[in-house]
Structures are given as structure tokens and as C-alpha cells.
Amino acid sequence: MGVELTVAQRTIALVAFDGFDPVELDDEHLAMARRLFGPVDQIPDSARRVLAAVCGARGGKSAILSALYSLWRMLTADLSSVAPGEVAFAVVVAPDKDTAKQVRNFVAGRCEHPGIKSLIVGDPSESIQLRRPDGHLVEFAVRAASRGGSATRGRTYVSAVLDEAAFFRDAASGVVNDQEVFDSVNARVLPGGLVIVASTPYVEAGLLFKFWSENFGNPSTALVAHAPTLLMREGGPEYETIEAQVRVATAVDGENARREYGAEFISVGGGFYFSSELISRSVKDIAPIVARPNLAAIRVGCGGDLGLVRDSAALVIVHEVDGKITVAEIVERRPAKGSPLRLSQVVADFAEAMGRHRVKTARVDHHAIEPAREHAAEHSINLEPAPGGNTGNEETFTVAREALHSGVVSIPREYQLVADQLREIIAKPLPGGGVSFVSPRKGGRHGDVARALILALWDLEQGQIDITPSIDVNRRLSANKAMQSRWGAGAMTPRFMGGGLGMFSSMPQSSLPRHVAPVSTPPAPTTIQEPPLSVGAGAYRVVGPGSISRTVNRQRVLVPAGAVLNLTADEARSYGAAVTPIQ
């Protein structure tokens, strides 16, 4: 089929697919087998039914282990035991429809080969069926992982691949179901075929980790391949390009790069941060809210994540009425391969959604915030930096978990993706204290929608700060004073209350128009009265233009240009060019 394999990819095919023992290979492939399978000379028959592949991203897992192997089995499997008229299947089970579609596209592309195209029956856009020369009909099928493995029972398989098995969860319940899916296909694969459990790794738990920990270097119930990205690509035409990507990813986030490219499991010294069961209870059969209703008591939170090159960009808007929070609308934009998102278009799409909900401010990560702000001004919206660093992440994640675990948040079933991403977030303790949060990168996504929801919930907790770029700061302060005169000074001061979220509760504040935000009036002096300098903090001056918002003594205030702030390095980075250090 015109496919060129690297030495590592060819070695897996020789040992796992063609049945050779490592000791039977030539010197080059024997040396590679040692690197892939450990110090193994012979594979016992008891391990020949299952291949567990712990893979790095972009190593050829979906294209070769899923797509090519499935197609090869469709063409060559012994079907003498299949009843007349019965259809045999090559099945790939994936965690979601997007991953399944990707594998299906790989197979469809290989079916364009002249020797295979003539065997296609019917419309391949509907289903990929082949009529083999021996008259047998075989079909390629993709399925999303389902509870109890119900989607994969009752059929005969020439092969079964559990692609990205480390991320299998039932869509409705959120229950990890890798073992159930495996059990549903294992007894139904015809002799000579494999059940392949292949995935980039995640935590030290689940079916893939069990196979790896029990069989790597000593196969008994499965043949295990440890296949980091660069090993799988070694000697291939794209090696230098991918090696550069790995080098950059390692510099940006070494721990995630070791998992994603180095195929290393995450130690369960950390754990899933959000309760899967409670997240599942939050998903309800309700419709998204595509525009803000005319309710005086409604409060709105807005959070965003700017992805652009490799990851999705996402915006989440939440509504709160009488203490109940609804995920109203999610906007997600995903980059195509080789075609990163345009920041101007992302901001325009965000602004359009924010306009429907009459909200002017979104809390976003500091990544790309400064260039994004230039585009935001064109749409009269404001992008405020979320708290930066590990401390800031702990603050925002804690607020979100309290909200989600208290049962006050409802997620429309249409937005199941955000629930899935929340379930996969892992909190890992850091040496010396603190916590880091890890999300897997899958199919151009890196927990981006979940991160946007977390910031939207945090934004709701803080109270919206609507700083319209075209309005002079002094005019805004005058408007705030006018509202204080109408409602009393307390209307401008956020107060905490119980119920897990501790959201602001005064009725006048809930009734404020969106163009006049509940903020405190900044003091007249150019130095904000803040707590004493903490370790690692320094003095920074606000250089504008305009003002920035900041929490001082648990109140949100607008800090004008020229004011002096005590900031840690992470906080200073979150404000970008809006502050400058004082030497």
C-alpha cells in the first residue's frame, strides 16, 4: 500500500502482527525489539492475543496500529469459521467520536489503493465494507467507548483496537470503562487476530497501566511495547521536525511532554481533581442559553482560553440565578493541521458570543493576552488576566471545584465535552508545597474548554468587572459613585456567604446594569494600600493605558495608570505590558 515504516514500526509489525520472536530477527530489528519490548527473546503463546502499546503522540499509533492493522486483517484473516452471510468486523473503539473519525479517515485513505478500491461495496462515506476475493464480506467499524461495552457485543471480529484506551469513559455516566470494553471484544476476536490496547499514557491506573506494569519485559498475558515518539520516528523522514516539536514542548511543560511524547505514566501521587460522579450529575437534559434573558437578578461569568497554534481556543459563559448556575454557552475554535487559528477571528467570535449575553469582560490566561487585547478593543470588550502561576491556578480551580461539587452547576448535555475534560484533570503535589494541574492533550484539545469554564466560575465568584475600553476611567468612577448614592456604599462591596461558592449576595449588586460594574472606588493616592511585601514580591508601576483590576483585601478595585503595586513575578507576568518593574 505504499507505506514506509520506520525500524521501530516495522519491528512491532514483525513481532506482534507476523508472529516472529525477537530472537529470530536480524541484528538491527533485534536491537530495536529490546528497546520496545524489554529483554525478551521469545513471546509465549499466552501473550500473543493482546498487544498493549504505551505510545507517544505522533508516533504512528492511530495510523499504523489502528488503521493499517485493521485493514490488513480485513484482507487476510481466516474466515472459514464465519457462517455464510455473516459479516465479520474490524472494530476500533475510541474515547469519543472525534478520535474514532480520525482513525476511520486513515482507513478510508488507504482504501484508495487500486488493489483495495475495487473491493469496496456500497458508499464508503456511509460504511467501509469490502467483498474479499473469497466472497466474504468484512466491514470496518468505529465505536465510542460505552458503559458495559454494550456497543461492541454480539459480533465477530477479525481484530479489535482500543485506541486511546487510557481515556475511556462512558459518555453518560463518566465511569471508566476500559476493562468492560476489553472484555466485550476479547472473546469475540477470531484466531490469529489481536486485541490492541494502544494509548498515550495518563495516570498509573486502568487497563493499559495494568498490562504495562505486569508484562513489560516479561510477557505473560500480553505483549507490551513502550513506544515513545522519537523512538517510533527514529530514521523516518519527519524525525527532525517532530524532534524540534518535542524539544519545544519539553521547554514549555516538561512534565506534560514526558507523558505525551516520552510515553511516561503520571504518578498517582496526584489524583483526579474533580469527582467523576458529581460531574456526571451536573450534566442534564437542558438546552444551552444562546442569549441572556431579561432577568434583573441574573449574574454572568465569562472565562476564556486562547489556544491558537496546537490547542483549541474556548470561551464559556455561565449564568447564575437564585444561586443556581447554568453553563449557558460554549464557543470552541479548533486549529486545523498546519493552519493555526487567527487571533483576530478568535477574539471576534468571542466578542459576538459575549454580546449575546451582554457581558463586556472575559477572564483569560495571560498567554497571548496582550496581542489579543488589541483586537478586543476593536469590539469594545475587555480581556482580564486570570491569576497566574501555581498559586493563581489553585485559587481558580478551588472555586470551580466548590461550585461543581456543591451541585449548583448544570451543564447541558450538548456540552458533554466540558464534563469529559473536567474529569481528566489531575492535581499533582509539588515539592515544597503547592499543586500543579495536568490535562491530557487529545486531538487538538488540551483541556481548553474545562479551563475556560473554571475561569468563568471564578469570574462569577469575583463579580464582573466591565471596563469598557472606550469609556474614560474617571467617568466610570463617577458612575460608581452615583450607584453608591442610589444603593448605599455597601452595594459596591462584594460580600461572601455560605453554600460552598460564597457568592456575592446583595440584591442591589445583582440588579446593577452590566455597563456599570460593582467595583470599589480606587483611593486617590497613586500607591495602593496593600499587604506588606511577600517573599518574591517586588514593586511595579501600572503604565496603562487605562487601568487594571486587582483584588485588594478581598475587594476588586480599578487601579489607575501610575499606581504602584506589590506583585510576585507570576502576578506581574499575568498583567503583561500593563505593569513595569520599579528599579
Residue 525 has pLDDT above 60, yes or no: no
> 556: which strand partners?
551
The pLDDT confidence band at residue 420, using thresholds 50, 70 and 90, is: confident
* Higher per-residue pLDDT: 285 or 436: 285
Q: Are 196 and 162 in contact (CB under 8 A)?
A: yes
In a domain, 143, yes or no: yes
pLDDT given for residue 102 in this prediction? 81
Residue 217 included in any domain = no
394: CATH: 3.30.420.240
Residues 339 and 451 in one domain: yes
Query: Is 417 part of any domain?
Result: yes
At 434 the pLDDT is 62
- Lowest-confidence pick of 140-144, 178-182, 493-497: 493-497
Same domain, 455 and 503: no
Among 200, 219, 249, the domain-final residue is 200
Q: Which of 132-146, 260-274, 334-348 has the lowest mean pLDDT?
A: 260-274
Sheet of 223-227, strand order: 120-121, 128-131, 137-144, 88-94, 157-163, 195-199, 50-55, 223-227
Give the residue, 154 or 541, on which the prediction is more confident: 541
Residue 1: the pLDDT is 57
Tally of domains within the chain: 3
Does 183 lie in the same domain as 123?
yes
pLDDT of residue 43: 95
pLDDT at 268: 56
Q: Is the pLDDT of residue 428 over 60?
A: yes
What pLDDT score does 481 carry?
A: 42
The rounded mean pLDDT for the chain is 78
Confidence of residue 566 (pLDDT cuts 50, 70, 90): confident
* Res 502: pLDDT: 27
Same domain for 415 and 288?
A: yes
Q: Is residue 80 scored above 70 in pLDDT?
A: yes
Instruction: Specify whether the CB–CB gap between 388 and 573 falls below 8 A.
Output: yes
Q: Residue 80 falls within a domain, yes or no?
A: yes
Please indicate, yes or no, if residue 553 is contained in any of the structural domains.
Answer: yes
Q: Across residues 307-318, what is the average pLDDT?
A: 82
Q: What pLDDT band is residue 583 in, cutting at 50, 70 and 90?
A: low
Say yes or no: 106 and 156 in one domain: yes
Question: Stretch 501-506: mean pLDDT, rounded?
Answer: 28
Match 442591589 to its residue by C-alpha cell: 508
Judged on CB neighbours under 10 Å (0-12, 13-18, 19+), 297 is exposed
Per-residue pLDDT band for 470 (boundaries 50, 70, 90) equals very low
CA distance 273 to 289: 27
Q: Of the residues 462, 484, 516, which one is the last residue of a structural domain?
A: 462
Same domain, 400 and 311: yes
**Domain ranges, residue 410:** 272-462
For the chain, give the percent of residues with pLDDT over 70.
Answer: 75
Is pLDDT above 80 for 230? yes
Looking at 200, 219, 244, which one is the last position of a domain? 200
- Are 63 and 115 found together in one domain? yes
Instruction: Reply yes or no on whether the pLDDT at 306 is more than 80.
Output: yes
Do 439 and 487 share a structural domain?
no
Higher pLDDT, 481 or 246: 246
Same domain, 294 and 350: yes
pLDDT of 114 strictly over 60: yes
Q: How confident is the model at residue 503 (pLDDT cuts 50, 70, 90)?
A: very low
Query: ∠ CA(488), CA(493), CA(499), 5° rounding?
Result: 120
Does residue 486 carry a pLDDT above 60? Answer: no
Determine, yes or no, domain membership for 25. no
Residue 61 forms part of a structural domain: yes
| Paired strand residues for 316 | 303, 330
State whether 458 and 487 are in the same domain: no
Whether residue 188 sits in one domain with residue 67 = yes
Q: Which amino acid appears at position 29 of this protein?
A: H
In the predicted model, is pLDDT for residue 279 greater than 80? yes
The per-residue pLDDT for 151 is 60
- Across the range 518-532, mean pLDDT stands at 39
pLDDT of residue 252: 74
Q: What is residue 181's predicted lDDT score, i.e. its pLDDT?
A: 87
In this prediction, residue 442 carries a pLDDT of: 66
